[in-house]
Structure 1
Amino acid sequence: MKYEPTTILSIVAKGREKNKTGIFSAVKRNGEWIETTIEDFEQMVHDLALGLYELGVRRGDKVSLHAENSTEWLVIDQAVLSLGAVVVPIYTTQPGEQIKYILENSESKVHFVSDDEVFAETKPLIKGVENVKAVISILGTDHKKLYDFDDILEMGHKRNEEEPNLFEKLRSEVAPDDLATLIYTSGTTGVPKGVMLTHNNIAGNALASHEIFPFDPKDFDEPKVISYLPLAHMFERTASYIYAYAGVPPYYIEEVDEIRDDFATVKPIYMVTVPRLLEKIVTGIKVKGQEMSGLKKQLYYWAVNLAEEYDPENPPAKWKWKIADKLVYAKIRELFGGRMVGFNVGGAALSPNIARFINGIGIYCGLGYGLTETSPVLTGPPKGELRIGSSGKPLVDVEIKIAEDGEILARGPNIMKGYYKMPEKTEEAIDDDGWFYTGDIGHLDEDGWLFVTDRKKSLFKLSTGKYVAPQPIENALVNSGFIEQAVVVGSEHKFCGALIVPNWENMKKRFETKGHKFPEENFTENEYVIKRIQKEVDKVNENLSKWEKVKKFKLLEDLFTIDAGEITPTLKVKRNVINEKYKEQIDGIYADEES
């Protein structure tokens, strides 16, 4: 084992001397960036930990956290961990009934909320949760029974005056094998499961992941990273520890719709993301060319096509790239702030076209793979290496093998202790030899690079006996500028169909450039819209096997959303929900099965 067992607290502390900015983190609130110095951050952690101690939080107790990303989120996390207590993060998009379940199942003693608006949905439910002894509002509250964040800081400050060595004593008792967090998987099916991760699970994973990060803070003046994925998810959470260890402050944005402005202001060098954001940005870049004409338009799309054909093992001629870079790529990189070194992508499969394009314009874009249960990273591209379509190689201390049925199995110090209060589920997931069954299908090439195909549960069989992995087909469909979302269906039918939500904004622009008036209603039944989408589907079908081709589709007007329970907070499709909710539309696809 390369890394000796350690704690999250230890690796965060080690980053203090590496930080050249003096800023621990920043958050955008009401349009303004609020930066917090390392000294102020550490003081808040110290005071909050002792304030929570005053409220009765002790080693092993659970503290739940229902809030948006912020510096305070990080303060709470570090304060709770400093007591040897356990952080239970909750997505802001989580339904009230699920929050109640998490609070009861985890036996949370103290519950944090960001403000009264976030608290509103759980207020009527939390009254019956007897284990929650205190609710604390981070940004202030009008509720008399809620504690104010600043009041808890003050309580801790006073406790420190009475017992100045208490904080260090409690913190020194935290051990690598102590439980650090309970993460309730949002899941695409069933009741949320509480994933038990220790300090060492996460800290070791952060150190191993840091080895393959495509940047060195020493190479930059005032290096910063930008963050938008929820800290309630292990991908962003572990990334936050890596940033702290590397001495690079994360800047937490307010609204993802404003991220382009945030790129320009923050000028980040790096970001972790899920594929959907990059897909939308790249689609916007491609559509931008439609506003041009003549030679300028030709040169623009020549450069775009050159980027989309990028192959790291056989890059384009230097003279071609230099011309494309001067005329197009440099301007595109400015959209990301002008200093962006790279993206690491996780959470879902990344379209090879998107990966080629981002790398082709001169920004590193690597795909990793992992799960909540694995803290979360299992694989990633080694520094300086890249294979389009692959999720990389196993991290240090991680083993990967493929079962006979194609399922990816993993073993290492980052594998969870198990599912909280679910020993049967734990036994199903981890065998006697320590191999964790990921539920994903994939293969390793001759050099040990991992290629992930799809979720095992997502695979479906046509009535012809052929198996279909829907995710790669969906990724290809949404790579079109005219398709916003797509879900491939067809289980026990003769052919594949799809539910498609068009990109209405781009569709309207196409109507205008062609001199058509966009319909005021019945968008999904418009003949021109259907023909345009059919063209996009036909393009994708050209590269698919006969049984994978999408033969029929139904258009939907509204996006699948987290609030409607159709996708998870990390934008994975809940197929069982989609199949049930849109049964009528799916039945319509197969009304005439013989066709």
Structure 2
Amino acid sequence: MNSISTVCELVDFGLDHNPGIVASTKRDGVWNDTDATTFRARMRACAAGFHSLGVRSGDRVALHAENSTEWLIIDQALLRLGAASVPIYTTQPEGQIAYIVRDAGVCGYVVSTKELYDGCPADLMSNPDMQWIVGLFGQYTDGMLTMEELIKRGDAQLSETPDLLDQTTSAVSGEDLATLCYTSGTTGDPKGVMLTHTNFTTNAIAVSERLPFDVPAPVLSFLPMSHSLERIATFFYLSKSCPIYFIETTDELLQDLAHVKPAHMTTVPRLLEKVHAGMMAKAAATKGIPGMIARWAFGRAEQFDVENPKPTLLDKLADKLVYSKVRAEPFGGNLEALTSGGAALSPKVQAFINGLGICCGQGYGLTETSPVITLYERDQMRPRSVGRTIRDVEVKIAEDGEILTRGPHIMRGYYNNPEATAETIAEDGWLHTGDIGELDKDGHLYITDRKKQLFKLSTGKYIAPVPIEVALASNALIEHAVVIGPEFKFCSALIVTDAAYVESSFGTDPDEDVLRAKVQDIIDQVNQTLPPHEQVKKFHLITEPFTIDGGELTPTLKVRRKNVFARYEKEIKALYTSS
């Protein structure tokens, strides 16, 4: 596979070796399987259909849809023309959609549902480069093509020019643009990250050398493919002939795990935190000897040493009595590995999952790095580490502690933004990640915080808020924690409670004093692990959730700190003026 230079070649390799299901999407409670022959036929027809609409090498096409087999087919079709998709999150606000469409200069727009189309700017077609719109599952406005109509156009095109796609695909090179992926924009307008075929292929192949599960095997996908983490995962899955099972929501995750019996899935820390909290709560509520055994076993799992994972006799007993049943029932029985990314994973939660007998580690990267820079290794994990560099990737720590990286994973640059590109990528090829971290003697990387999020108290002490926030939010009661304190004498926090957990644990009309007392207990426990200047002295309780529409969260659910500070300016001031 080292001779592969384009995503088309990478995926074709996997399709050639896949005798069964390529992908399956759960829609309205029903799984819709697509085999390799059907996948390839629909992909080719869509590519020819796009060609008949005027799509050519270098063009950009917006792709606004939930994870699905159709998402994959559209993306692969565009790649075979030398065109690039511009993924748009299903949660993207209308204003950002308008900005992305205009900035990217897309020639067409693919949208999955009427609901998503209705959330698009009303003047979508007035953009100067926009020529057509395709609806994946129907026609949502006059003049819109459906995917089935696109396929019919493509079939007609291929009957006239059978070698069309052989010509266009062979013309695609590793340096061609594969996607224009807009960052979530925590500090301003989104920036269009230009990623090439070489960026993706080298990253996917290097990742395939590291992930600890046997392929081909079924995998579960629920993180948005608009995000580069799930995007690179799908390229890897396709190249290894792994059937991909897509779900649009995690509301029925346990049932989906039982059906799919996946060997691997990528996830975010918050989901793992909820799994951990749910299991601990169930054990606490179980009476008699079964409850005692479950609490004992889960307590051992929380103490599991990921750095020295040698099971003792007691661990083996706990596995026989509890862990093996957990792996079989909630997780489907075949889950070998969970890869966590997007935010820091609590060491206790990581220990717990590994203690259950499921390999769980972290990776690190950015949209600008295709995205993986470092990734865990089954036999080389360390608490809080995000792993070591994957093949052909370099990392070093600058004098100010910033993580720098260089290699074939580095983006071409920001689209239409040479100034931002020059600020991010030095002339010698080193990309400034904006993250603060450190390397140990064996090359394991540890992330401390975002460079822009570090702040200084009026006492002169520097604070890295993210590790404190991760520790607080590892409790199921807390959905988000935002540590504050620049230019003040001490740290405070805005605490957003998890609405679902509050309702299940405290009822639909909880007593705020009870909630505050519980939150204070959590803060007290975390403070015991922190030096005095990092301890949270006061907090403001927020029971309304942060949302994308409200401006507190990005489409990737990261906190927009600037917006949050502005919205809660009065409450923050009160924390430092009250006695």
TM range (shorter): over 0.9
Q: Which amino acid aligns with 2:107?
A: K
Correspondence list, 1:451-470, <5 A: 451-470=446-465
Correspondence list, 1:207-246, <5 A: 207-217=205-215, 223-246=217-240
Q: Which amino acid aligns with 2:91?
A: T
Change (3 A) 1:263 1:519: closer
The aligned residue for residue 66 of structure 2 is 68
Change (3 A) 1:519 1:272: closer
SS at match of 2:107: strand
Q: Which amino acid aligns with 1:30?
A: D
SS at match of 1:272: strand
SS at match of 1:183: strand
CA offset at residue 506 of structure 1?
Answer: 4.1
CA offset at residue 5 of structure 1?
Answer: 6.2
> With structure 2 as the length reference, what TM-score do the two structures score?
0.97
Contact 1:100 1:129 (C-alpha < 8 Å) held by counterparts: no
Contact 1:274 1:570 (C-alpha < 8 Å) held by counterparts: no
1:188 to 181, 186, 189: 186
Change (3 A) 1:291 1:47: same
Q: Which amino acid aligns with 2:417?
A: M
Deviates more, 1:253-262 or 1:360-369: 253-262
Change (3 A) 1:505 1:29: closer
**Aligned mates of 2:116, 2:518 — CA distance in 1:** 41
SS at match of 2:10: helix
SS at match of 1:195: strand
Correspondence list, 1:474-493, <5 A: 474-493=469-488
2:333 to 309, 333, 338: 338
The aligned residue for residue 160 of structure 1 is 158
Q: Which amino acid aligns with 2:29?
A: G
In structure 1, the gaps of 5 or more residues are: 512-517
Correspondence list, 1:540-559, <5 A: 540-559=526-545
Correspondence list, 1:73-84, <5 A: 73-84=71-82
The aligned residue for residue 15 of structure 1 is 14
Q: Which amino acid aligns with 1:87?
A: S
**Aligned mates of 1:532, 1:393 — CA distance in 2:** 38
Deviations 1:27-65 (A, max 9, x none): 111111101011001001110111011000011111110
The aligned residue for residue 509 of structure 2 is 520
Q: Which amino acid aligns with 1:562?
A: I
1:590 to 571, 576, 579: 576
Deviations 1:395-429 (A, max 9, x none): 10000000000000000001001000111110000
The aligned residue for residue 298 of structure 1 is 292
CA offset at residue 492 of structure 1?
Answer: 1.4
Correspondence list, 1:344-355, <5 A: 344-355=339-350
CA offset at residue 493 of structure 1?
Answer: 1.1
Deviates more, 1:466-475 or 1:400-409: 466-475
CA RMSD of aligned residues (A): 1.6
**Aligned mates of 1:143, 1:378 — CA distance in 2:** 43
**Aligned mates of 2:92, 2:151 — CA distance in 1:** 28
1:373 to 368, 376, 382: 368
**Aligned mates of 1:362, 1:180 — CA distance in 2:** 38
Deviations 1:274-306 (A, max 9, x none): 111111111111111232124333322211111
CA offset at residue 314 of structure 1?
Answer: 3.3
Correspondence list, 1:344-423, <5 A: 344-423=339-418
Change (3 A) 1:83 1:127: closer
Change (3 A) 1:317 1:31: closer
CA offset at residue 316 of structure 1?
Answer: 6.1
CA offset at residue 588 of structure 1?
Answer: 2.1
**Aligned mates of 2:309, 2:431 — CA distance in 1:** 37
**Aligned mates of 2:199, 2:528 — CA distance in 1:** 44
**Aligned mates of 2:173, 2:498 — CA distance in 1:** 50
**Aligned mates of 2:182, 2:499 — CA distance in 1:** 35
Q: Which amino acid aligns with 2:521?
A: K
CA offset at residue 192 of structure 1?
Answer: 0.6
Deviations 1:470-507 (A, max 9, x none): 11111111122332321111111111111112345544
Deviations 1:503-546 (A, max 9, x none): 455445555xxxxxx5737x4xx222211111111011110111
Change (3 A) 1:508 1:153: closer
The aligned residue for residue 174 of structure 2 is 176
Kindly indicate whether residue 92 of structure 2 is the aligned counterpart of residue 94 of structure 1.
yes
**Aligned mates of 1:416, 1:27 — CA distance in 2:** 31
The aligned residue for residue 515 of structure 1 is none
Q: Which amino acid aligns with 1:156?
A: G
What percentage of aligned pairs have identical amino acids?
A: 47
CA offset at residue 342 of structure 1?
Answer: 0.6
Deviations 1:70-95 (A, max 9, x none): 11100010100000111111111111
Q: Which amino acid aligns with 2:370?
A: S
Contact 2:552 2:564 (C-alpha < 8 Å) held by counterparts: yes
Deviates more, 1:81-90 or 1:577-586: 577-586
Correspondence list, 1:561-576, <5 A: 561-576=547-562
The aligned residue for residue 493 of structure 2 is 498
The aligned residue for residue 514 of structure 1 is none
CA offset at residue 135 of structure 1?
Answer: 0.6
**Aligned mates of 2:316, 2:378 — CA distance in 1:** 24
In structure 2, the gaps of 5 or more residues are: none
Contact 1:97 1:125 (C-alpha < 8 Å) held by counterparts: no
Contact 1:486 1:501 (C-alpha < 8 Å) held by counterparts: yes
**Aligned mates of 2:503, 2:553 — CA distance in 1:** 26
Contact 2:364 2:372 (C-alpha < 8 Å) held by counterparts: yes
> With structure 1 as the length reference, what TM-score do the two structures score?
0.94
Change (3 A) 1:519 1:232: closer
2:249 to 235, 246, 255: 255
Change (3 A) 1:228 1:99: same
**Aligned mates of 2:496, 2:321 — CA distance in 1:** 34
